[in-house]
Amino acid sequence: MYAHLRHNGKRYNKRSSGKAGRGRIPNRVDITARPAIVETKSRIGDWEGDTIIGAKHQMAIVSYVDRHSKYTLLKKITHKTANSVCEATIERMQSLPHPVHSITYDNGKEFSGHETIAKALKTSCYFATPYHSWERGLNEHTNGLVRQYVKKSSDFSLLSDEDIQRIEDRLNNRPRKVLNYKTPFEIFFADQSPTQNIALQC
């Protein structure tokens, strides 16, 4: 009978179904399952992730921030797709000097590849409660800092990878009151040798 409905024969997809659809992420793990230690911000390796969208929804910047050190990672992607986010995330995080213990995302469909990310980085991915932006407050704040350099009207196609790296470096080398006026870089690489620091800054 559905073939005779006014929706041109499209079957109605029940919102209660567990299948992926608009606003649904396959095998999504809720933030309530996240280990309690993540909330304390007491260790390096618990990250929050998001995307910053360019003008006219063209291109995006994948942004990550470590909850303990406030160390930030940025990567421009040409398309806000799950595959692009996966590739950018794995590229930026697989060589970090600390284990990636967890990543907390919002509920954007671009993070539907979280299982690929979790497997590649040997980590666990969690999703904040919809419309509870404060559960990822640090990432929201960091995106605001990025917007000081990249306005909402900015055409991301005019930004080179070097431009994005400069923004990342400025954020990571900015003394922060919450860190007793140390920089995120100093906290994140505190146990690294000077030689390692130089290499990782490049």
Looking at residue 173, which CATH number applies to its domain? Answer: 3.30.420.10
Looking at residue 16, its pLDDT comes to: 39
Total domains in the fold of the chain: 1
Q: Is residue 4 part of a domain?
A: no
Q: For residue 74, give both structure tokens.
A: 């940025």
pTM of the model: 0.82
Looking at residue 42, its pLDDT comes to: 96
Q: Is residue 1 part of a domain?
A: no
Q: Is residue 74 part of a domain?
A: yes
| Contact status, residue 64 vs residue 9, Cβ threshold 8 Å | no
Q: Is residue 16 part of a domain?
A: no
**Residue type for 48, please?**
E
With 0-12 CB in 10 A as exposed, 13-18 as middle and 19+ as buried, what is 178?
exposed
The rounded distance, in Å, linking the Cα atoms of 35 and 37 is 5
Domain residues for the domain of 158 are: 27-201
Q: Is residue 44 part of a domain?
A: yes
pLDDT along the chain (202 residues), means of 10: 53 44 79 97 97 89 97 96 97 96 96 98 96 90 94 90 97 96 96 47 36
Q: Is residue 5 part of a domain?
A: no
